């Protein structure tokens, strides 16, 4: 998971749902807090997981709090009636 790829680079938590999930990355180091383009790139990586799984959906950056070194992403997908 995240800790194996990004050792000492924040903490990830998630709030799962049937067709929506929230992914929060907190405790980000300053080098990432000041590189918003990289944080959007992480969003793209989460989107690629949906694409690779062939699940129609979107992932977007919902909020970014520089002061708290936290970014929150929202993922929406279609269960295709399987949910």
- The pTM is what? 0.84
User: What percentage of the chain has pLDDT greater than the value 70?
Assistant: 90
Strand partners, 21: 75
Of 33, 26, 32, 20, residue with least CA distance to 60? 20
What is the spatial order of strands in the sheet that 11-15 belongs to? Answer: 11-15, 20-26, 70-77, 57-65
Scanning 1-83, the segments in alpha helix (DSSP H) are: 2-5, 30-33, 36-52
Mean pLDDT over the full length of the chain: 88
pLDDT of 4: 61
> Which residue is it, tokens 């709090």?
65
pLDDT digits (tens, 9 = 90+) for 6-43: 777 889 999 998 999 999 999 999 998 999 899 999 99
């Amino acid at each position: 998971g995240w800790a194996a790829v990004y050792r000492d680079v924040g903490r990830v938590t998630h709030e799962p749902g049937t067709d929506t999930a929230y992914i929060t990355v907190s405790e980000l180091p300053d080098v990432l807090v000041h590189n918003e383009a990289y944080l959007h790139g992480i969003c793209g990586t989460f989107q690629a997981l949906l694409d690779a799984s062939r699940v129609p959906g979107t992932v977007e950056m919902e909020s970014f709090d520089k002061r708290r070194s936290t970014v929150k992403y929202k993922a929406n997908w279609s269960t295709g009636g399987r949910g």
